Amino acid sequence: MAQEIQAQFGKISIREEVIATISGVAAMECYGLVGMA
């Protein structure tokens, strides 16, 4: 399900998959989490 935000210049829609991908990439940049993988 996408989250929608009405902004001044239009509507912004963000899907859960995008948040999950960004979170996963950010987590893999943390040295402690990389060592656990």
pLDDT, one tens digit per residue, over 1-37 is 788 999 899 999 999 999 999 988 888 887 776 666 5
For the chain, strand residue ranges (E) read: 3-7, 10-14
SS3 of residue 6 by DSSP: strand
Can you give the pTM of this predicted structure? 0.56
Distance CA 34, CA 28 (A): 5
Domains held by the chain: number: 1
Residues 14/3, Cβ–Cβ less than 8 Å: yes
Host domain of residue 28: 3-36
